[in-house]
Chains A and B, each alone.
Chain A
Amino acid sequence: MDWNNQYIHSLVLIVAITVAFLTIMLLVAATVLAERRVLAFIQGRLGPNRVGYGGVLQPFADFIKTMMKEDLVPDQSTRFVFLLAPMIAIITAIMAIIVYPFGPTVTLPFLGTFPLRIAQFDVALLYVLGVTSVGVYGIALAGWSSNNKYSLMGGLRSSAQMISYELALGLSLIGVILLSGTLDIYQIVEQQSGWWGMQWNIIYQPLGFILYLIAAIAETNRVPFDLPEAETELVAGFHTEYSSIKFLLFFNAEYINMITVSMLATTLFLGGWNGPGVTQFPLLGVVYFFAKILLFLFIYIWLRGTLPRFRFDQLMNFGWKFLLPAAILNIIVTATFLFLKGGD
């Protein structure tokens, strides 16, 4: 088949985007279920296990139930912004997916050879950071427009938190960028292939990896950094007034953000689709890629079952006085090392 034809290329892109979208949505459902069941096991319970085999259909049942609820818009809310906020949240969450390569170039019967990615461009990493930073508006505006004290507090908290941790998140990635010399995620993954995993950036950037993991958990508003929706203080935080499908959008956006953040960690630090035997069987790369993502998602759930929530001043002190200096130290050490090593 002629892959360079413009129309076929567009068609392939649409198919690729659809496949990626459906994969992510299924992964969201799986994560929601896994979160409830793993959390239950951590706490010595069974969790939902009645709908389908071992509870596999539970997320879909919940989805239908939530869809059927009444869609409320508070009387005193700023209506336009109230409707806009969940859209911003979900659109920015989904937009970040397109840059991640799901696997290497594969050859399939009847279809030919093609790479398992949607888009490859020069500033992919900056694109991810940009889209993430726009995602703050979804939460901030939702909190403001609801005209509810709890929502406003949640929105304010989350904007302050995301501004603070975005810096540490971006700076923790600079070590990897310095090592690989490119912002193109596909190239960064390809540079980490071979040597049985000894080329993975986590070996050369252990501090950067840990800083990224912490900042990413804070950026996705998860335990122990889930102050924007601290149930004990703020009812449900920024989405207190949201019901039905708009609540679902926020809910999905949070889980998609978790997945994309895990994808970024996988591609930048754990070699993406790289693993033993990928050169012989390229399709194995997809398995490795998703296995690594699932590892990160498990860490998310594990932390939620283990750690209590930060206090807000602790959160700010930790972000500005520990994470940020440590990230800058990481950059200085990496840059010095590269300078002494010389080379290109």
Chain B
Amino acid sequence: MTTLLFILFAGLAIGSAIAMVSQSNPLYSAISLIGVFISLASIYVTLAAPFIAAVQVIVYAGAIMVLVIFVIMLLNVEHSEPRRRRLKFLVPLALGMAAILLAETAFILYSVQTTATQLPSNVSNVGLTGSIGEGLFTTYLLPFEVTSILLLMAIVGAMSLARRSAVLSATARVVPGAQVLAMDIVNRRAVGDLRPVETETTEEAAQLLGVDFQDRSEQE
């Protein structure tokens, strides 16, 4: 039964992986990648690692791929002409990588078959949530915390890169008359603040925006 399930899900995983690299439409590739993740999660279940399986589905299939699909949908990538020539120089490199990967697989197979199997003392406990949590918060506490700080740094970095105030172009001008401006244009620190700022005269608006109104009118 387990072998049957393994063959089923391994076949699905390999099929989805091949579909992922061979598709020209990025959305199809993304869907195939989700197929790979879910098949792998199913294999983890048969290998008595239910926690890893659940996390695989939640994190990879549920969170990361949703973002990828979100971006693809948002950008609405056109179905462009396949440009095969551009990356042609990568083919020998890919073949070399594949050879290394195959050699590694063969080595693992060889070493597994030559060494005696040593199962952990309490097999029934290994993949369960409790034992993983115990390991993470006792033996491997430092790596765990370091990883979480790394992730935090990535979040803060992404925020500071993306979070920019509205920038006035050098040729920006003030429209004559009273006007309503958005707060994030007037005050560079009020990022994303769209509260209205009302001005009575053109001079006032120019002063708030830091644009020299008088100067421009004299030039004209």
Residues in A lying within 8 Å of B, measured CB to CB: 78, 80-81, 84, 121-123, 126-127, 129-134, 136-137, 140-141, 143-144, 152, 155-156, 159-160, 162-163, 166, 182-183
Contact = CB atoms under 8 A, between A and B. Distances in A.
B44 to A, nearest CB: 11
A141 B54 contact: no
Contacts of B54: 123, 126-127, 129-130
Interface of B: 27-28, 31, 34, 38, 41, 50-51, 53-55, 57-58, 61-63, 66-67, 69-70, 73-74, 76, 128-130
A130 to B, nearest CB: 4
Contacts of A136: 62, 66
Contact of B73 (A121, A123, A129, A152): A152
B63 A163 contact: yes
A77 to B, nearest CB: 13
Contacts of A155: 73
B25 to A, nearest CB: 8
Across the A-B interface, the 6 shortest Cβ-Cβ residue pairs: A133-B62, A126-B54, A130-B57, A123-B54, A130-B58, A123-B50
Given A122-B129, A133-B63, A143 B73 contact: yes
Given A133-B57, A141-B31, 20 more contacts: A126-B129, A129-B58, A130-B57, A130-B61, A132-B62, A133-B63, A133-B66, A134-B61, A137-B34, A140-B70, A144-B27, A156-B73, A156-B74, A159-B69, A159-B70, A162-B66, A163-B63, A166-B63, A182-B129, A183-B129
B66 A159 contact: yes
Residue among B41, B50, B66 with max Cβ neighbours from chain A (10 Å): B66
A134 B57 contact: yes
A87 to B, nearest CB: 12
21 contacts: A81-B27, A121-B50, A122-B128, A122-B129, A123-B50, A123-B53, A123-B129, A126-B58, A129-B54, A130-B54, A133-B57, A133-B62, A134-B38, A136-B66, A140-B70, A141-B69, A144-B69, A159-B66, A163-B66, A163-B67, A182-B129
A136 B58 CA distance: 12
Contact of B66 (A81, A122, A140): A140
Contacts of B62: 129-130, 132-134, 136, 166
B69 A123 contact: no
Contacts of A141: 31, 69
Residue among A123, A144, A163 with max Cβ neighbours from chain B (10 Å): A123
Contacts of B128: 122
Looking at chain B's contact residues, the main secondary structure is: helix
Contacts of B51: 122-123, 126
A130 B51 CA distance: 11
B67 A140 contact: no
A129 B31 CA distance: 20
Contacts of A144: 27, 69, 73
B73 A81 contact: no
B80 to A, nearest CB: 15
A78 B28 CA distance: 10
Contacts of B74: 156
Residue among A81, A134, A159, A183 with max Cβ neighbours from chain B (10 Å): A134
A143 B38 CA distance: 22
A141 B70 CA distance: 9
A140 B57 contact: no
A188 to B, nearest CB: 13
A156 B62 CA distance: 16
Contacts of A126: 51, 54-55, 58, 129
Given A81-B31, A126-B58, A134-B61, A156 B70 contact: yes
Nearest to B125: A122
Nearest to B62: A133
A166 B58 CA distance: 10
A182 B130 CA distance: 8
A162 B55 CA distance: 18
Contacts of B28: 80-81
A78 B25 CA distance: 11
Contact of A133 (B41, B61, B129, B130): B61
Nearest to B41: A130
A134 B33 CA distance: 13
Residue among A81, A122, A131 with max Cβ neighbours from chain B (10 Å): A122
Residue among B41, B53, B54 with max Cβ neighbours from chain A (10 Å): B54
A331 to B, nearest CB: 15
B50 A122 contact: yes
